Amino acid sequence: MVIDSPALKTRLQEALQVSKLVLLEAAGGFRRNDGLRQASSLAFATMLALIPALLLLTNILGVSIGSSRVAMQRVTEFVGDVIPKFGDVILKEVGTLAHRKSGAGILNFLILFWAVTPLVASTRSIFNGIFRVTPHRSFWITKVFDFLTAMVFITGISAVAGMGVFLRFLKTLPLDLTPPAGLKFLLPFATTTALVLLMYAVFSPRAKALHMLAGALTTTVLWFLLRPAFSLFLTYHHGYGVTFGSFKSIFIIVIWIYYSQAVFLFGAEVVAALHRHESVLIKHLMDGKRGLPLLGRTRLVKRIPAGTVLFKDGDAGREMFHILQGTVSIQKEGKELAILGPGAFFGEMSFLLGQPRSATAIACKDCECLVIHEENIDTLMREFPGIPRDMLTEMARRLRDTSEPKTIGNA
């Protein structure tokens, strides 16, 4: 298929450039946040919560469906889909516990939910690091939040696991409901994406819904590719994990959960990269990197002809500027205070203080200036500590120069 429309070609190129930038930033964030170590921490917490979570799942499905036997079948199918090859080891323990009469009751339900909260707390802590969030809740409010999140998580899994019962019910109706050929793939893909999206929504509430959806789709695609690859590896490497003896099954389950959590965290990094996409683009423009999305550059970079007044003394300071090319003259009452070149900030003092401009800025030559607004300054400073350091260094230099014969002012 040949694309003839120049506008469509430009949009596709822009989308590819943005996707490349986001994936590179996500990979960089995964490395900087030590994603593999974080995945191992989550894998350990998942193993501790696995049997309580599956036991809760069995009990909830049993109450919803009205049959513990059917509930156990649904859990078996669910575990078979989620944990390849050796899920029966876990199911055996879950089945034994589920048949005990002492396993029922409100108190036991609450205890099981509480057993899942360490996994929720670990996930929350890791997401706070990924999204640079400083927690402000008190200890007990945080614990209540973790407990409620565990309930939402288990309920969501119960809905996914119970989907098969609903589909079987549809088949019993006197209607011609022939499912499409691809439904067996699309339904698990859609439900997995929805479940991951729900988790991202809980742990990264500041992110936009579209960004979380992109991260959830990334996670689901990678996980659906990872599962057959891992199963194929185990098929052709029978001796994998044999050194663990009778614990081989547990070892393989832990390894699989570890890989799955790594994929889950990479998807979270994609959400974070999309969330701070504009700030990343600004930083790359400051560093002079090439191959950046044209639309983003057009939106953030202002081309200024020589002689143009960028702002006047007394104007409102709604943005600050970073010079990419050209020079800018800073003037006060007709006197030139400084000439700033590429790499310099100006207009930052009135912008940060929320006060009127204290000087006038005029382009000496044709300029390209990066415009930084209120919407991205917080993320920019939080994500890239070097930027406020550079600004403080420049402001300190200007303050030092105020004691010299030629005063360098600040707009």
Provide the pLDDT for residue 37.
94
Last residue of a domain, one of 275, 308, 334: 275
Walk across the sheet containing 345-346 and list its strands: 301-304, 367-373, 319-325, 345-346
107 Cβ partners below 8 Å, 6+ apart?
A: none
- Enclosing domain of residue 210: 16-275
DSSP 3-state assignment of 373? strand
CA distance 334 to 330: 10
Does residue 150 sit in the same domain as residue 22? yes
Q: How many residues in total does the chain contain?
A: 411
Provide the pLDDT for residue 90.
67
- Number of Cβ atoms within 10 Å of the Cβ of 176: 5
Give per-residue burial for 250-268: e unless 16+ CB within 10 Å, then b: ebbbbebbbbbbbbbbbbb
Specify the pTM.
0.76
Last residue of a domain, one of 275, 308, 324: 275
Does residue 270 sit in the same domain as residue 326? no
Does residue 271 sit in the same domain as residue 322? no
DSSP 3-state assignment of 312? coil
Summarize pLDDT for 24-81 with one digit per residue, the tens: 889 999 999 999 999 999 999 888 887 777 777 777 777 766 666 777 777 776 666 6
Q: Is residue 67, in this structure, part of any structural domain at all?
A: yes
Q: How far is CA 263 from the centre of its chain?
A: 12
Longest CA–CA span in the chain (Å) reads 94
Does residue 121 sit in the same domain as residue 227? yes
Does residue 301 sit in the same domain as residue 179? no
Does residue 83 sit in the same domain as residue 144? yes
Q: Pick left, alpha or beta for residue 368 (phi over 0 → left; psi -120 to 50 → alpha; otherwise beta).
A: beta
The pLDDT-based confidence of 213 (bands split at 50, 70, 90) is very high
CA distance 315 to 337: 18
Is there a contact between 91 and 139 (Cβ–Cβ < 8 Å)?
A: no
Range of weakest confidence among 188-192, 259-263, 391-395: 391-395
Burial zone of 328 (CB within 10 Å; 0-12 exposed, 13-18 middle, 19+ buried): buried
Q: Is residue 152, in this structure, part of any structural domain at all?
A: yes
CA distance 347 to 362: 12
Burial zone of 185 (CB within 10 Å; 0-12 exposed, 13-18 middle, 19+ buried): exposed
The pLDDT-based confidence of 164 (bands split at 50, 70, 90) is low
- With 60 as the cut, is the pLDDT of residue 116 above it? yes
φ, ψ of residue 338 in degrees (nearest 5): -165, 155
- Number of Cβ atoms within 10 Å of the Cβ of 384: 18
Does residue 380 sit in the same domain as residue 310? yes
- The mean pLDDT of 372-390, rounded to a whole number, is 79
Q: Is residue 10, in this structure, part of any structural domain at all?
A: no
Q: What share of the chain is helix, strand, coil (3-state, %, to 5)?
A: 70, 10, 25
Q: Is residue 25, in this structure, part of any structural domain at all?
A: yes
The pLDDT-based confidence of 266 (bands split at 50, 70, 90) is very high
CA distance 173 to 56: 30
Does residue 93 sit in the same domain as residue 185? yes
CATH at residue 355: 2.60.120.10
Q: Is residue 109, in this structure, part of any structural domain at all?
A: yes
For residues 227 and 216, the model is more confident at: 216
Q: Is residue 409, in this structure, part of any structural domain at all?
A: no
Provide the pLDDT for residue 410.
45
In angstroms, what CA-CA distances link 368 with 108, 310, 390?
A: 65, 12, 19
Is there a contact between 43 and 258 (Cβ–Cβ < 8 Å)?
A: yes
Does residue 238 sit in the same domain as residue 346? no
Q: Is residue 394, in this structure, part of any structural domain at all?
A: yes
Provide the pLDDT for residue 2.
46
Does residue 340 sit in the same domain as residue 223? no
Q: Is residue 9, in this structure, part of any structural domain at all?
A: no
Summarize pLDDT for 72-109 with one digit per residue, the tens: 777 776 666 666 666 666 666 666 666 665 555 677 77
For residues 134 and 307, the model is more confident at: 307
Q: Detail the DSSP E strand segments found in 139-245.
A: none
- The mean pLDDT of 212-229, rounded to a whole number, is 92
Domain count across the chain: 2
The pLDDT-based confidence of 280 (bands split at 50, 70, 90) is confident
Residue of 387, 388, 371, 369 whose CA lies nearest to 278 = 371
Range of weakest confidence among 125-139, 217-231, 293-307: 293-307
Does residue 233 sit in the same domain as residue 366? no
Does residue 198 sit in the same domain as residue 93? yes
Last residue of a domain, one of 240, 275, 310: 275
146-149 long-range Cβ contacts below 8 angstroms, 24+ apart = 146/117, 146/120, 146/121, 147/113, 147/114, 147/117, 147/120, 149/120, 149/124, 149/202
Q: Extract the tokens encoding 336.
A: 């030139």
